[in-house]
Amino acid sequence: MQKYHNIVILTGAGISAESGLATFRSSNGLWNNHPVDKVATIEAFEQNPAYVHDFYNELKPEVFKARPNAAHIALAKLQKKYPSPVSIITQNVDTLHEKAGSTHVLHIHGQIDQAVCLNCGKIISATSDIDTETICPFCQTMGMMKPNIVFFGENLLCMDEVDILLQHCDLFISIGTSGVVFPAASFVQTAKSVGAQTYEFNLEPTSNNFYFDHHIMGQAGITVPEFVEKLLAQEEN
Ligand code: OAD
């Protein structure tokens, strides 16, 4: 294993599975038990915001009680100890990376603990329920708060920063994502096009596994800490 100058890590629901949070597309996943077109599209929110609010309000207690697992903790350690920048881009709306000690995590799909006002654009903390009667504390408008979660049909967050990171990375690691939701699924191609080594950590090969140089199969809570220790040991030699 070589030494790297810019490490970029993309995480998906699989990294939080061992913390007890359901993934989206597994047999017991969120999208198999809930109609995705009714809870995760901007059209659904426009047509029936109360239904969408209920869905995320019910999800919140489960997400907030989850604790980071060994994979989140290992990535936080890598960020602290590796001498070059280690950037985390996550599709997850939980904040388990931050709870593990990671800083500056790019939440491209938003965060469940926040809401955004569609009238003034301000983001507020939303650890308790929000609904169609919530009043924006900034512009005082009622009924315009939306979970700060990127729905299908909306633009991803932080993409300018993501593009710069991908253009300069020499190691790209994808952990626990099925690679079917774009544009995150195409980040590996961008990383490869600039010459990065590419690693995929998953339980199984994914639909875009063709773009990865290395496949590490198994539970992220085991494989990721092992890999992090190898990277840190290499750096010490
Ligand atoms: P998926 O549910 O599509 O994929 C989860 C992946 O994690 C699968 O490939 C599993 O094989 C893998 N996996 C499960 N447990 C694992 C473990 N213990 N260790 C390693 N891998 C494991 O979730 P995402 O790819 O994250 O968007 O889904 C992408 C987006 O689709 C989500 O961010 C969400 C959804 O629509 C929003 O909600 C905005």
Q: Are strands 197-202 and 214-217 parallel, antiparallel or unpaired?
A: parallel
* 237 or 147, which is more confident: 147
Q: Which residue has the higher pLDDT, 209 or 107?
A: 107
Active-site entry in 53, 72, 107, 109: 109
pLDDT confidence of residue 108: 98
One domain, residues 118 and 219:
no
The CATH number of whichever domain residue 201 belongs to comes to: 3.40.50.1220
Q: What is the CATH number of the domain that holds 142?
A: 3.30.1600.10
- Per-residue model confidence as pLDDT tens digits over 115-149: 999 999 999 999 999 999 999 999 999 999 999 99
Tell me how far the alpha carbon of residue 201 lies from the centroid of ligand 1, in angstroms: 11
- Residue 214 zone, left/alpha/beta (φ > 0; ψ -120 to 50; rest): beta
Are 39 and 52 in the same domain? yes
Where in the sequence is the domain holding 14, given as residue range(s)? 1-21+68-109+156-237
In the chain, at which residue ranges do the beta strands (DSSP E only) sit? 7-11, 86-90, 105-107, 110-117, 123-125, 145-149, 171-175, 197-202, 214-217
pTM: 0.96
58 and 94 part of one domain: no
Gap between the Cα atoms of 55 and 41, Å rounded:
13
Point out the ligand 1 atom lying closest to the alpha carbon of residue 40: 38
Whether residue 1 has pLDDT greater than 80: no
How many domains would you assign to the chain?
2
17 and 30 co-located in one domain: no
Residue ranges around ligand 1 (CB below 6 Å):
12-14, 17-18, 23-26, 29, 40, 91, 109, 149-150, 176-178, 181, 201-204, 206, 219-220
Instruction: Report the residue among 177, 180, 186, 222 best suited for mutation to probe ligand 1: largest number of ligand atoms under 8 A from its CB.
Output: 177
Query: Do 74 and 144 have their domain in common?
Result: no
